Amino acid sequence: MTIRVLLVDDQALVRSGFHMIIESSDGIEIVGEAENGAEALELLAKTPVDVVLMDIRMPVMDGVEATRRIVEAGLSARVLVLTTFDADEYVYAALRAGASGFLLKDSRPDELLQAIHSVANGDAVMAPSATRRLLDQVVPLLPAGHGEQKDGRLDVLTDREREVLVEIAKGATNAEISATLYMAEGTVKTHIGRLLAKLHARDRVQLVLIALEVGLIGR
């Protein structure tokens, strides 16, 4: 199937660059472009879209609010946030709003195309290195006193599943989790599947956010 992509960025030059990269790839097509979140929502109301490449900082309606409205409306389009800085303070808000991951605007063309395919297939796009930088920025900003004892969502987890969740929240890859916890990668994948089901999480991104919210990752 051809992946239908909507480009949302207030800079025409940026849209043009992404357009050239995407149109040169088989299996992906641009079905629309928008200068802000409000225009994106209008297009989504009448155009089938699989993946939205969403800039964060835009006039009229930013990418965070647009992402929130897309998710609340139950639209099938999945959002991949575009950002200039990996420590952009709006990235965390966009992920909480329901984005399936984020990508730096200066990523290589092959990384962009792979990210689009991954998001279209229901996977999250959030490189471990980017996860670590996000944690470095977000954890100090969390309100004092947040912690596991005030949130019962993790009560359904086994000790092993909790250990895996900790490693995911640290930004570890499956291979790194395997080495740290002395288990096969296949077993790691099984635990991740159970975490997604038990915590009603859509993807790996949401697992990281849940771990942050319940205080599993300390300051």
Q: What is the DSSP string of 127-176?
A: -HHHHHHHHHHHGGGSPTT--GGG--GGGGS-HHHHHHHHHHHTT--HHH
What distance in Å separates the CA atoms of residue 141 and residue 114, rounded to the nearest whole number?
32
Distances (CA, A) of 96 to 93, 206, 208: 5, 8, 10
Contact status, residue 5 vs residue 30, Cβ threshold 8 Å: yes
Structure tokens at 21: 């990269």
User: CATH topology for 3-125?
Assistant: Rossmann fold (3.40.50)
Contact status, residue 5 vs residue 28, Cβ threshold 8 Å: yes
Residue 51 has pLDDT above 90, yes or no: yes
Residue predicted with more confidence, 139 or 26: 26
The pTM assigned to this predicted structure is 0.73
3-class SS at 184?
Answer: coil
Give the per-residue pLDDT at 148. 45
E-state strands within the chain: 3-8, 28-34, 51-55, 78-83, 102-104
Positive or negative, the Cα torsion across 163, 166, 168, 170? negative
Give the per-residue pLDDT at 168. 85
Give the per-residue pLDDT at 219. 45
Q: Which 8-state DSSP code applies to residue 102?
A: E
Mean pLDDT, the chain, as a whole number?
Answer: 84
What is the arithmetic mean of pLDDT over 151-162?
87
Residue predicted with more confidence, 26 or 130: 26
The residues, ordered by sequence, that sit 6+ positions from 185 with a Cβ below 8 Å of its Cβ are 174, 175, 178
CATH of 139-213, one of 1.10.645.10, 1.10.3130.10, 1.10.10.10, 1.10.10.60: 1.10.10.10
The length of the chain, given as a count of residues: 219
Of the ranges 3-7, 76-80, 199-203, which one carries the lowest mean pLDDT score? Answer: 199-203
Domain residue spans of the chain: 3-125, 139-213
What is the arithmetic mean of pLDDT over 169-196?
89
What is the arithmetic mean of pLDDT over 114-120?
87
Give the per-residue pLDDT at 120. 86
Residue 143 has pLDDT above 60, yes or no: no
Give the per-residue pLDDT at 86. 58
Residue 32 has pLDDT above 90, yes or no: yes
Number of helical (H) and strand (E) elements in the chain, helices listed first: 10, 5
What distance in Å separates the CA atoms of residue 216 and residue 209, rounded to the nearest whole number?
10
